[in-house]
Amino acid sequence: MTPEVLLVLGAFLASSVEMVEALTIVLAVGVTRGWRPAMIGVGAACATLAVLVAALGPALTQIPLSALRVFVGAVLLVFGLQWLRKAILRAGGVRALHDEDAIYAREVALSGEKETAATGMDWYGFTLSFKGVLLEGLEVVLIVVSFGSTGGHLGLAAAGAAAALLVVGGVGALVHRPLSRVPENSMKFVVGIMLTSFGVFWGGEGVGVSWPGSDLALLGVIGFFALVALVLVTDLRRRAALTSRVTSGA
C-alpha cells in the first residue's frame, strides 16, 4: 500500500469508529425523545464542526512544516496509543469488549429519564444529540485535519471521513439500530496502530529524522507497532490462561 492509500484508510476507519458511537447516541435520542430534536442536534453539531474546520485549516497553513509535523505527530500519538492500549487490553481479555447494544440501552435509559416535552423544542433531547455528535465529531476533525495538513492530502483525508459518514449514516438510516455487529475492537486495533505509526513517522520528520526509503519507511513503522501489539496481546492471553488454570486448580 502507498502512503496515500494508508492515509485514506486510516481516516476512514478512525472516522467510522467515532461515527458509530455518535450514531448510537442519536438513535437512542430519536427513539425515546423524537427524531426532530435528534436531527436538529445533529445539524447544529455539524454546523459547529464546519466552522471549526474552516478556522483550523487556514490557521495550520501558517505554521512551519517541521513544527506542524511535531505537533500533529504528538496529537496522533495521543489518539493512537490511547486506542491501541484499549484494543490490546480487550483483545487480551483484560477488559470487556466494546458493546454498542449496551451503550444504546444506557443512552435510551438516560434520555428517557425525563418526559418528552408536550409542545415546543425538546431541549433535553437536542442537547444529548448535539453533545454526542459534537464530541465524537471533534475527534474526527482533529484526525482528518492532522492527516491532511501534515501529509499534504487534506482532500484525501476528508474523502476517507466522508466515505465513513456515508457508510455509517446509510447503514444507520436503514437499520435504525446501533451497529453492534461492526468489529469495533478490531477497527480500533488497526486504527491505533496506524495513528501511532503516522504519529511517530511525522513527528520524527519534524525533528529531522531521515527515514530510510523515505515514505516507504512508514510501512516498516506500521509493521513494527503491529508486531509489538500482537506480542502484547499474546502475552496477556497467556497470563490470563495461566491465572485461570491456577484458580481452577486451587
Residue-wise pLDDT tens digits, 41-55: 889 988 888 887 777
To the nearest 10°, the Cα dihedral for 205, 211, 217, 221? -70
Tell me what pLDDT residue 107 has: 61
> Which helix (H) or strand (E) is 168 found in, with range?
helix 154-175
* Span 50-72, average pLDDT: 72
pLDDT for the residue 247: 72
Distance CA 169, CA 179 (A): 10
For residue 181, what pLDDT is reported?
Answer: 58
- Confidence check: pLDDT of 228 > 90: yes
Asked if residue 139 lies in contact with residue 11, where contact means CB atoms within 8 angstroms, the answer is no
pLDDT tens per residue across span 151-192: 567 777 788 888 888 888 787 777 666 555 566 677 778 888
Asked if 49 contacts 137 with a C-beta cutoff of 8 angstroms, the reply is yes
- Section 200-208 average pLDDT: 84
Tens-place pLDDT, residues 94-141: 776 655 566 666 666 665 544 444 446 777 778 888 888 888 888 788
List all residues 6 or more positions away from 123 whose beta carbon is below 8 Å from its beta carbon: 37, 117
Query: 81 burial class (0-12, 13-18, 19+ CB within 10 angstroms)?
Result: middle
Cα 230 to its chain centre, rounded Å, is 20
Give the pLDDT confidence score for residue 110 in this predicted structure.
60
**Closest to 149 measured CA to CA, from 234, 71, 212:** 71
What cell does 64 get?
512551519
CA distance from start to end of the chain: 50
- Taking the whole predicted model, whether its pTM rises above 0.85 is answered as no
Residue 116 has a pLDDT of 46
**Which residues are CB-contacts of 49 (< 8 A; sequence separation ≥ 6)?**
134, 137, 138, 140, 141
* CA-wise closest residue to 234 among 96, 80, 88, 83: 88
- Tens digits of residue pLDDT in 5-42: 777 887 888 888 778 878 878 887 777 777 788 889 88
The pLDDT of residue 203: 85
Q: How far apart are CA 25 and CA 220, in angstroms?
A: 38
The pLDDT assigned to 51 comes to 83
Q: What is the pLDDT of residue 118?
A: 44
Please report, rounded to a whole number, the percentage of residues in the chain having pLDDT higher than 90: 6
